[in-house]
Every structure is written in structure tokens, then in C-alpha cells.
Amino acid sequence: MPVARSPCSPLVIAETAELTREEWLNYRRQGIGGSDAAAVLGVSPFTTARDLYYDKRGIVSAIEDDSNWVQLEVGHLLEDLVARIFAKKTGYRIYQIKKMFQHPVHTFMLADLDYFVELPDGTTAILEIKTTNYNAREKWWDGKEEIVPLNYVLQGRHYMCVMDIDQIFYCCLYGNNEDEVIIRHMERDLEYESELIALEEDFWVNHVLAEVPPPYTEDGELIVRSVRRHFGYADRSAPEVHLETGFSGAIARYLELQEEKRVLDTQATQLKNEMERIKGFIIAEMGASCTATCSFGKGSYYVAYNPVLKPGISKNNLARLRAQNPDIYKEYVTANESRRFSISQVKEEAA
């Protein structure tokens, strides 16, 4: 059954043109923004629902993760340029409204938009600006079908809901000229939107307002990064944690997967050793040469064995640097902490 539509104009909660970064973030913490939607559903490639919860509650991370600051800064600096490319490619007039909007009914839903588009029929669309690298452009296709990445789909549907606008355009720059852009168009889907509203409301009411952290459901790498950010570095003086029996299934499954991986790793090692043996026969024939050719069957093959030079420092030279130039050593040599995870069965002591 189609979802009934009730037209409603968004509210304005802030003029954003003169806000500082911290002021803007404080307004965003009053609700869920479009870029938060994927995290709410546990499908963000960048963060977890737990991290979003911490942010909305104002819980400061023990370790600040600024590993992607350059990517974020590039996206910000190129935003106006990408918008101009879109306008030139489409002929549509674009404009900005520097305000933060709020849904008049579902007040936990916020929107701070990049641009608006004036369409020839007099209606308005949203324009969302994106930047990516050349290899990541493939995320905008599924085979030969043009798509919008899921996290951006959710962002766009969130915005259309808050603004009561029926269309959104995406313009993504992946190169350094105006032809290396991806333009996508998406129309409003009220049934999809109603499900999104319900999921966002559950997150806001039953987690943020109730002060109940949402469970981790994302990929392991995202979860590990989240835990590290929140709890900080390892504390060897912290007491041992006793895991309840509810973890028994997870531990048993981990050990099962560990054994499967060991078998596959053994097979992979055997394959690698055989490949290295064949490689040895070939480079022995090549001697000091960097390239070779071979023709057999219906094809010709090119072999390359080129030198790759990487700057590095040996352990011995590092020790000499520490001994002879301790000030330089302290300034430039850093220790990166990593943690090794393992599960093993405790052997029972003989009575």
C-alpha cells in the first residue's frame, strides 16, 4: 500500500554561514544528519553506530582518529569547483542556503545541504557534492549499471525527507578535469523513507536519549578501530575481564574459523613456494636483465623483474642513530602500538 504524503516545510534551527566548526558540530549533535544515516543502519564504510552514539552524547574519544583528514579537507576545498562543473554540465542554476534544517514532525532529523538546483519546470532538487579517487569510482557502478553507493543513497533519502523535496543529484569528481565526474539522479521513495524514519527514530529514542549504546554490528575492522578510539591504548595494569557464558558460541566459532584458516594458509604457503620455485628458474635464465619475453601456444608473454627501491633504515643503523644522535632519534622515531589478539584453551592443572 502506498505511503500517504503530507507536505511539510522544514524548520530552520541555525544560520550556518558564521558558525565556528565547534558551534556547527554542537548543532549537529541535536539530531541525526544525512551523513549519519548510514552509521545508524550499520552500513557506513567509515564509522560505527556506536561511534555515532558517542558523538551525539558528547563522549570524547580517548584517541582522536585524524587518519583521513586530508581526504576530508580535499572534499571541502573542491566543493565549489565540483558544483560549478555540475552547473556547466547540466545547464541548471545552482545556489546555496547556508542554514541547518530540521524536520517539522520528526525533529531528530536534521539537514545541512551542499547546494540546491533550480530545475526548468520550476521545481527544486538537492545537489550533493562528492569527491573520490580514480580507483574508488567503481563504487558508482554495479557491473555496467549506474548506481549510487548505499551510504550516499541513505544520505540523499534523509535529505529529501527533511526538506520535502522529490529529487536529488550527486556530482562526484574522481580526477583532475571536468570530464572525470560522475553525475547521478535519484527520486524520492516514500516507502523507503518511512522505514528510514523508523530506524533513525529507534536509534535516537532508544539509544541516544535513553543513553544505551547500540550494539556493534559492523565489520570487524571498523569495530576494532572504534574500540581503540574509545578506550585508548592498552593498560597492562587493568584487571582481567571475565567473559560471560554468552560469549561461548563466539569463542567456539572463532577457534573453528582459526583452524579453517590454518589449513587454507598451509595450502596458500605451498602454492607460494611452488610459484617462487618457478620464478627462480625464470630469473636464473634472465640473469641481470630486467625483462624477458616468451611465446607459446597462441600468445606472447612479457616478464618483468624490475628493481624497487624503498627508503629504509636497518636495525643496526637505527641503533647507531640512537646512540650517536639521541635528540634526532627522539624527534623522528616513533613507536606505533598494535595489539595481538588470540584465543587458546587453558590447560587444566593436574590434581
74/248 Cα distance (integer angstroms): 46
- Per DSSP, the three-state class of 332 is helix
- Residue 339 above 70 pLDDT? no
Whole-number pLDDT of residue 341? 58
- Residue 71 above 90 pLDDT? no
Report, as an integer, the average pLDDT of 145-167. 98
Tell me the per-residue pLDDT of 117-128, one tens digit each, with 9 for 90 and over. Answer: 999 999 999 999
Q: Which stretches does DSSP call E strand in the chain?
A: 11-15, 93-95, 99-102, 110-111, 115-118, 124-131, 141-142, 145-146, 167-173, 181-187, 291-296, 299-304
Q: 316 versus 253: which is more confidently predicted? A: 253
Report, as an integer, the average pLDDT of 78-83. 95
Tell me the per-residue pLDDT of 187-241, one tens digit each, with 9 for 90 and over. Answer: 999 999 999 999 999 999 999 999 999 999 999 999 999 999 999 888 889 999 9
241/214 Cα distance (integer angstroms): 21
Q: In the block, which residue shows the cell 520528526? A: 106
Reading the block at residue 186, the C-alpha cell is: 535519484
Per the prediction, the chain carries an average pLDDT of 91
Exposed e or buried b per residue across 128-140, where buried means at least 16 C-beta atoms within 10 angstroms of its C-beta: bbbbbeeeebebb
Q: 316 versus 184: which is more confidently predicted? A: 184
- Residue 161 above 90 pLDDT? yes
Contact 337, 231 (CB under 8 A): no
- Residue 6 above 70 pLDDT? no
Report, as an integer, the average pLDDT of 9-18. 95
- Residue 56 above 90 pLDDT? yes
- Residue 346 above 70 pLDDT? no
Exposed e or buried b per residue across 48-68, where buried means at least 16 C-beta atoms within 10 angstroms of its C-beta: bbbbbbbbbeeeeeeeeeeee
Beta bridge partners of 186: 168
pTM of full prediction above 0.85:
no
Phi, psi of 315 (to 5 degrees): -60, -40
- Which pairing describes strands 124-131 and 167-173: parallel, antiparallel, or unpaired? parallel
Report, as an integer, the average pLDDT of 58-69. 81
Reading the block at residue 233, the C-alpha cell is: 591504548
Whole-number pLDDT of residue 316? 84
Report, as an integer, the average pLDDT of 145-162. 98
Whole-number pLDDT of residue 72? 78
- Residue 350 above 70 pLDDT? no
Question: Range with the lowest mean pLDDT among 99-103, 123-127, 249-253, 344-348?
Answer: 344-348
Whole-number pLDDT of residue 5? 60
Reading the block at residue 144, the C-alpha cell is: 555496467
Whole-number pLDDT of residue 322? 85
Architecture of domain 11-231: Alpha-Beta Complex (3.90)
Whole-number pLDDT of residue 109? 98
57/37 Cα distance (integer angstroms): 16
How is the chain split into domains, by residue range? 11-231, 271-307
